[in-house]
Amino acid sequence: MTQNFAKSDLNGRSTIVYLFSLRLPSLSPAQKARLLTFNAIRLGLIEPRSPVKGENIRTWINDREGKKIQAWVVVSSVDCLMRFTDWTPQKDEEFACWAYTMTRLYQLIDKPDDFSLLYPSGIDEQKARYWLTAALKHSEAFRHDSYREALNALSVDADDTARVIATLTDKFKPCVEYELLFTAFGAGEWEERIRNVVSGCDLISVLHRSIDGKELEDFETCDMQSTRFYSLR
């Protein structure tokens, strides 16, 4: 399954970039390239940098084997497709790239069904579970999971702060709010509790990745500020 997943992911990369370009017809190639780059920065996939050029979009679309299309390009493309269009994966290669994106963006979630709240509307849920299972298997070698031992070591009456700190055991591995909510508390309705912990605990820092607004004047609907949580231990 792992080898088939890796092949399907590579084979689908050019299609994903093509769909990203196709589904945003009002943007020029240069604007699409800027959006793709700044979205990747927002997601923490790459360090702040100048945007790629519009011609890179065409190059990636023509790379049918996907070997020269970097992972951040695929993840940012899939994320934009889900945020700004009504796209859902259809072919196996699209599902592979979508599943890779989900496991890359939410690295603390390690059960296929736990992604269900993040499914795009209309997705084939049976195929989604299949490809997420394959993606999780494929990612085992590099997934961060030391948090699980820390969580299991907590007493049943551990407070919110203890659960959050246990989840953030690796100071080099940030996670977005949904991961923190779902992993620390097993549910997604604890936003206020998370914010109370963050505001009152000196072991947690909040990283805001923001891009110069002048660079994004053409993307008024894009929120280019992301909150990611880190442990400072």
Boundary-marking domain end, from 122, 138, 154: 138
Residues 108 and 190 placed together within one structural domain of the fold = no
Look up residue 159 and give its two tokens. 């407070």
45/123 same-domain check: yes
Domain count, the chain: 2
Q: Are residues 196 and 101 in the same domain?
A: no
Q: In this structure, are 185 and 162 located in the same domain?
A: yes
Compute the distance between CA of residue 216 and CA of residue 205 in angstroms, rounded to an integer. Answer: 26
Q: Is 205 helix (H, G, I), strand (E, B) or coil?
A: strand
**Whether the Cβ atoms of residue 51 and residue 32 lie closer than 8 Å to each other:** no
85 & 190 share domain = no
The C-alpha atoms of residue 9 and residue 92 are separated, in whole angstroms, by: 9
Provide the 3-class DSSP secondary structure of residue 176. Answer: strand
Distance CA 24, CA 20 (A): 7
Residue-wise pLDDT for 91-139, tens only, equals 999 999 999 999 988 877 778 988 888 898 999 999 999 999 999 998 8
* 169 and 85 assigned to the same domain: no
Residue 101: which of 111, 115, 86, 90 has the closest Cα?
115
131 and 162 share one domain: no
Residue 165 is inside which H or E element, if any? helix 160-167
Q: Which domain holds residue 89?
A: 2-138
pLDDT averaged over 10-residue windows placed end to end, the chain, 233 residues: 81 97 94 92 84 95 93 95 94 96 83 87 95 90 67 80 73 61 64 64 39 35 42 42
Query: Each residue of 25-38: pLDDT tens digit?
Result: 999 999 999 999 98
Q: Is 169 helix (H, G, I), strand (E, B) or coil?
A: coil
Looking at the structure, tell me whether residues 132 and 161 fall in a common domain. no
Domain match, 160 and 191 both: yes
